[in-house]
Amino acid sequence: MTRRIVVVSAGLSVPSSTRLLADMLGEAAVGAIRERGQEADVEVVELRPLAHALADHLLTGFPSGELGAAIEKVRRADGLVVVTPVFSASYSGLFKTFFDVLELGVLDGKPVVVAATAGTVRHSLVLDHALRPLFSYLHAVVVPTGVFAASEDFGAVATDAGTTGLAKRVERAANELAALVAGTTAAPTPVAHRRTVDEEFADPTPFEALLRAASDGPPAF
């Protein structure tokens, strides 16, 4: 079975260092899964062309065209790599909006690598004070290694690819993701998997169960 890695990149420029990091992580993840004897492919979701659709979704409550397809890719992914530029000491608004409009439950138990880029290394803790809490809230399983790259890291990649800190961090994060996605390490099962609307359509909760659930719990009056 081919494992699907989806890379979500919130870079705004072309070319973008965010996309560059996203591609490095995506390729490394596929490589690490193949080393474990399984097939894998990677798809990229670029958020920049979805910016209008994301604003529309906030207002209308439904995804139009391409955004619907992007959300579907994330829903079906076996593992995610998410990369944002740092704006004003946190993830960008565009990045956050994409995860704001995802239905609760879509990321339950999904292995995720968090990554960010910035002009200065002084932003590096953004992974731990912004991205990690966001994905914990969404019930994703965030791998221990997050990857942060500042401008100086990319400079180092260009001169000495194999041995820099960035390449090592990419490798380590990719291996941690592969271990979860390829099933060599058991991902913790989420405590309560939240059913999505699509799951209800496919396998509706019988009304008797809804009726029992309605009156469970302490009196509310």
List interacting residues with another protein (CB under 8 A): 55-56, 58-62, 64-65, 197, 200-201, 204-207, 210-211, 213-221
Taking a C-beta distance cutoff of 8 angstroms, is the pair 30, 42 a contact?
A: yes
User: Considering the complex, what minimum distance in angstroms separates the CB of residue 50 from another protein?
Assistant: 13
For residues 80 and 62, what is the distance between their CA atoms, to the nearest angstrom?
Answer: 22
- Tracing tokens 């659930």 back to the chain, one arrives at 213
Q: Which of 37, 35, 101, 104 is nearest to 71 (CA)?
A: 101
1/220 with CB nearer another protein: 220
**Closer Cβ to another protein, 158 or 211, answer by number:** 211
Q: Which is nearer to another protein, 163 or 215 (CB)?
A: 215
CB of 73 to another protein, least distance (A): 17
Under the phi-then-psi rule, with left for phi > 0, alpha for psi from -120 to 50, and beta for the rest, what region is 217? left
Q: Which residue matches tokens 């894998």?
A: 40
Minimum CB distance to another protein, residue 213 (Å): 7
**Greatest alpha-carbon span in the chain:** 69
Q: Provide, rounded to whole angstroms, the least separation between the CB of residue 218 and another protein.
A: 8
Question: Nearer to another protein by C-beta: 152 or 198?
Answer: 198
